[in-house]
Amino acid sequence: MSGCRICGKRHRVGFVSTRFSGTDGVSLETEKWAAVFEGEGLECFYFAGELDRPAECSYLAELAHFTHPDIKEIHRNAFGARVRQRSVTQRIYELKRVLKNELYRFIEKFSIDLLVPENALTIPLNLPLGIALTEIISETGIPTIAHHHDFFWERQHFKTNAVWEFLNMAFPPHLPHIQHVVINSSADNQLGLRTGISATVIPNVMDFDHPPPGYDAFEENGEIRHETNRSFDPYAADVRRDLGVAENEKLILQPTRVVKRKGIEHAIELVHRLDTRAKLIISHASGDEGYDYEQRIREYSRLLGVDTRFVSNIINHRRGVTPGGRKIYTLYDIYPHADLVTYPSDFEGFGNAFLEAVYFCKPIVVNTYSIYSMDIKPKGFSVVEMDGYVAEDTVLQARRVLEDEQLRAEMVAHNYRTARKYFSFSVLRNKLSVLLSDCLGCRFGG
């Protein structure tokens, strides 16, 4: 690579997190930041406990993962209690030293001149990693853009703890070499009130300047249209069959994990009350938050007579084949076949699934969670809303959207135009330009 297209210098960016793999929000947004950096001639490298990036630009440190047994043991003793044992403190410092040495080797190996911690200085899933990062930034003065997705004070689980001094020191640290980035205005307000740190708000984005393959999203005059060519990709042609959705049934997509804050019971109730042949497809598994809520969702589906399909076994971040020989799809293979997307979350840091539905020109039913109400709704999107519960008006609007093709076309076209204006890569590029100017003296965008 020849170097930055603005200044000609070789700038090397080091992304640091617990995991860069799969379809979690941090990994997805990191890909988008890296795409913008690399498009401007910067080189990107990755440090984490789990990686699916190319080996030549990756540094694997297994202790960095939040599921590492030693890290999980610290987490168990640090949270849910108000006093910790001396041995826990000693163990935190021991593991911090190991991770600190790994981070120094990463910086030296790839000649990193800009660090980008992705949530590693935000939510304390790995206390030693956050402390190690903080000390390195303080010791080296390396320019840093800390990208914050989920603060610990936003999660009830972290509020009772025995590690307040570490949280106040490193989650996030208040250091002169760090530019802080948050993904919504509420986080910006709370960060300032709690720590005195000022931040830049950079929302999650999608590449709305380049529609998904097979989508006729632009007319010759630049206007958006809604046509979707579901058959353009032979690989994904069997999606509905493999999901068990008949041609005369509606595919209602819930493109989230099965966790309590996603409000999936509202999607089940909505499908029940739509009074139409439909299946509710849930794309992701419960993950590391337990399976009690999934059991609740299965029982509720049976109670209301809704055919709910849990299909995470055949959806992954890459195409492939299961051990049993079934075809594995990506979530982006599923979106084109959806008739309606449900997003009834009680809380979200931003709303990746919302932007994905807009990107794939799908109508959306959304709960008015706080960040949607503050940062997304004011932009003027056209969606079916619910306010904490499924009202009769919500059901009527959703049914009308499913039945009225013209209304549906107008909604998704309007939403695409709106998102292209406020949540596109060009927005990200312009925001990062200012930060890089402060960090490296290099400004791009425009």
User: pLDDT (tens digit, 9 = 90+) per residue, 324-336?
Assistant: 999 999 999 999 9
Q: Report the Cα–Cα distance between both ends of the chain, in Å, rounded.
A: 23
pLDDT of residue 83: 96
Task: With a cut of 80, say whether residue 284 has pLDDT above it.
Answer: yes
1-5, 192-196, 403-407: least confident range: 1-5
Average pLDDT of 186-199? 96
Average pLDDT of 209-236? 66
Residue 445 lies in a domain: no
Give the integer Cα–Cα distance in Å for 336 and 338. 6
Structural tokens at position 18: 């617990």
Look up residue 440 and give its amino acid: L
Domain span at 26: 12-205+425-440
- pTM, two decimal places: 0.89
Task: With a cut of 90, say whether residue 125 has pLDDT above it.
Answer: yes
Give the integer Cα–Cα distance in Å for 76 and 80. 8
pLDDT of residue 8: 63
Give the integer Cα–Cα distance in Å for 308 and 420. 33
Task: With a cut of 50, say whether residue 220 has pLDDT above it.
Answer: no
Average pLDDT of 163-170? 98
Give the integer Cα–Cα distance in Å for 70 and 63. 8
Q: Does 283 share its domain with 296?
A: yes
Average pLDDT of 271-294? 88
Handedness of CA 119, 124, 126, 129 (dihedral sign): positive
Query: Confidence band (pLDDT; 50, 70, 90) for 87?
Result: very high
Q: Does 434 share its domain with 401?
A: no
Q: Does 41 share its domain with 162?
A: yes
Query: Confidence band (pLDDT; 50, 70, 90) for 10?
Result: confident
Query: Confidence band (pLDDT; 50, 70, 90) for 5?
Result: low
Average pLDDT of 137-162? 95
pLDDT tens-digit readout, 224-255: 555 555 556 889 999 999 999 999 999 999 99
Q: Does 21 share its domain with 170?
A: yes
Residue 225 lies in a domain: no
- The total of structural domains in the chain comes to 2
Identify the CATH number of the domain in which residue 360 sits. 3.40.50.2000
pLDDT of residue 227: 52
63-77, 92-106, 178-192, 285-299: least confident range: 285-299
* Beta strand pairing call for 58-60 and 43-48: parallel
Q: Does 407 share its domain with 435?
A: no
H or E stretch at 384: strand 384-386
Closest residue by Cα to residue 378 from 194, 171, 184, 147: 184
Average pLDDT of 262-282? 97
Look up residue 259 and give its amino acid: V
Task: With a cut of 70, say whether residue 2 has pLDDT above it.
Answer: no
H or E stretch at 201: strand 199-201
Query: CB neighbours of 32 closer than 8 A, spacing ≥ 6?
Result: 204, 205, 206, 207, 425, 428
Q: Does 306 share its domain with 382?
A: yes
pLDDT of residue 318: 87
pLDDT of residue 323: 92
Query: Confidence band (pLDDT; 50, 70, 90) for 195?
Result: very high
Average pLDDT of 33-38? 95
Q: Does 308 share its domain with 377?
A: yes
